[in-house]
Chain A
Amino acid sequence: MTTHPGSAGDGQHPPHDHDHDHDHDHDHPHAPIAQETEPSYFELMETAIRELLVERKLFGPDEIRRQIEVLDSRTPALGAKVVARAWVDPSFREKLLENGREACEEFGISFYDDTELIVLENTEAVHNLIVCTLCSCYPRPVLGLPPDWYKARNYRARAVIEPRKVLAEFGTFIPDEVEVRVSDSTAAVRFLVLPMRPAGTDHYDEEQLASLVTRDAMIGVIPVRTGQETA
């Protein structure tokens, strides 16, 4: 049984019933690419449900493939554009903090997963950090897929128990007089941190500002700094 969406098969032909005649004479040595472990209970359940839904024609393999393509097309560069716009346009910033989803939609970012978005503004007095202790809820429409560490149990548990220590491990030291505010996502709302605009960027244009804003800054584990532009 495969665990790859999009290779669900047509239900008539068992996969790999023909003879293979692979040419293994290529000159780069590597371990065969194979599934090393048996699929887990939940992987099997996902595959079974997906195959059933396809079999019942509720959706087709191409729709699954396309949705994966949509998910992969979203990247932190989108979120960075939102942040940069908020830094240069006070009325957009106001709207963004009032209703994150509507502001982003007006900015041209659709919410394919029908989640709401609360944008959390970092200030001199408040530092925001986002986490999903239950799973991996993440503002995917604006940031794409979450990094692996965001989904790790270690981060998920410790971000709500000792956020300052976790932040310190990311190299971020929050002064005692600054309030640390951890947002745990559990329902239909997602969070995006609006970091503070770094000093010395008054002459930057919107595009240059966007290039400063990284994924981790929008999760709230680091501030935005100059001199660390992304490509």
Chain B
Amino acid sequence: MNFKLNSNPGPKRHVVPAFGETPIFSRGDRVRVLNRSPIGHYRVPIYLRGRAGVVERVLEPRQLDNEREGFGLNAGDKRHYYRVVFSLQELWPGYAGSPSDNLRIEVFETWLERI
């Protein structure tokens, strides 16, 4: 009898993930950092709000949503976040370095929109 690995996919393909269970973006996606200014300390630097970048990778595992927890909401909630690449030439007018120079940063999913 020939057993084939993966011949039984299990229940996976019938299981529908809940909202937030799987990352919305994947590597290579073009994204824009939302230009929001909520009151309080948020770890999305002002210089990147409203700027466009490309997802380098989805960071695993999901991380504690400190933006909610920091304000006493939904303690323990986890969120996907991403390492996003921005061109330094696009960020800074008159940037003197090489056109390939870039900045990489982690951004929570709640701060990104697809473009």
Contacts and interface: CB of A to CB of B under 8 A. Distances in A.
Contacts of A189: 59, 83, 106
A179 B102 contact: yes
A110 interface: no
A109 interface: no
Chain A interface residue number, banded: 20 to 34
Given A182-B104, A185-B106, 16 more contacts: A133-B45, A134-B43, A160-B91, A162-B92, A162-B96, A164-B96, A164-B97, A177-B98, A179-B98, A180-B102, A181-B102, A183-B104, A187-B66, A187-B106, A188-B64, A189-B83
B103 interface: yes
A177 to B, nearest CB: 7
A207 B19 CA distance: 50
B42 to A, nearest CB: 9
Contact of B100 (A160, A161, A179, A187): A179
A84 B75 CA distance: 40
A164 B99 CA distance: 12
Interface in A150-181: 160-165, 176-181
Interface string B77-101: 0000101000010011001111011
A172 to B, nearest CB: 13
B102 to A, nearest CB: 6
Chain B interface residue number, banded: 20 to 34
Nearest to B102: A181
Interface of A: 116, 118, 133-134, 160-165, 176-189
B110 interface: no
A163 B95 CA distance: 10
Most buried by A among B47, B104, B108: B104
Contact of B63 (A160, A161, A163, A188): A188
A133 B66 CA distance: 18
Nearest to B59: A189
Contacts of A165: 96
A184 B59 contact: no
B97 A186 contact: no
